[in-house]
Amino acid sequence: MSQTPEPSGQWQEAGRYEIRLKGRLEPRWAAWFDGLTLSHDVEGTTVVEGLVADQAALHGLLQKVRDVGLPLVSVTRVEPEPPVVPTPEHDRA
């Protein structure tokens, strides 16, 4: 989690989010969601995923979700995967 101070003294947090919507949005909606990735799962939900700059950007994104009119299923902050550190055994493979 990266935090940087704003001139106002408040902190912003960039993070990766996964937003699930009930129903299907076509890939062309990715532009509406500032280029975030749109995908579909077998349960008929649309997953909007990507890096969100800060809490203000997340709230703006959620307003767009509201404007689309599909029911919101969940909002999840996705922690990054820890990097794979090569081990001596890994190098031999």
Task: For the chain, list the domains and their CATH numbers.
Answer: 13-79 (3.30.70.1150)
Helices (H) and strands (E) in the chain, counts: 2, 5
pTM to 2 decimal places = 0.72
Residues 31-71: tens digit of each pLDDT: 889 889 999 998 899 999 999 999 999 999 999 999 999 99
Q: Which helix (H) or strand (E) holds 16?
A: strand 11-22
